[in-house]
Structure 1
């Protein structure tokens, strides 16, 4: 039994989402709060200070370094 749908049976509004709409988290304009969320840490004053220091030290690649 085939699990694919023939083109004829697809609705006219069935389309692929453009790649630009699927991705977020730009390399710039990342905030300390963004960094904390990516690191899995709570947003607290202490953690915000930590995130700001890490972002100042590592620059734009700080958030990329969190990813496996």
Structure 2
């Protein structure tokens, strides 16, 4: 009796990210760079200072407020 391997599904053209892989990151460490990028801004000394102030005031929730 030979063991058979289950067939793998054919490749999919679907490029949607599975929900299990999507996260905002607020359950872990949130950096000023994360906040700047989530806001759609370039990383500059000014935007990093803005993000650091936001993180001091709001904590990791600042990232949740920017992301859907």
Q: Fold conserved (TM > 0.5)?
A: yes
Report how many residues are paired: 54
The TM-score, its normalising length taken from structure 1, stands at 0.65
Looking at structure 1, the residues matched to 33 and 19 of structure 2 have their Cα atoms a distance apart, in angstroms, of 28
C-alpha offsets along residues 8-40 of structure 1, whole Å, 9 cap, x if unaligned? xxx8233xx682xx1244212111111011000
The TM-score, its normalising length taken from structure 2, stands at 0.65
Higher relative contact order at CA 8 Å, sep ≥6: structure 1 or structure 2? Answer: 2
Query: Which 5+ residue runs of structure 1 have no aligned equivalent?
Result: 1-10
C-alpha offsets along residues 20-61 of structure 1, whole Å, 9 cap, x if unaligned? xx1244212111111011000100001100000001101121
Partner residue of 2:56?
A: 56
Higher helix share: 1
Aligned-residue RMSD, C-alpha: 2.2
Query: Which 5+ residue runs of structure 2 have no aligned equivalent?
Result: 1-5, 10-17
Looking at structure 2, the residues matched to 67 and 25 of structure 1 have their Cα atoms a distance apart, in angstroms, of 7
**Distance verdict in 2 for CA 1:66–1:12, change over 3 Å:** same
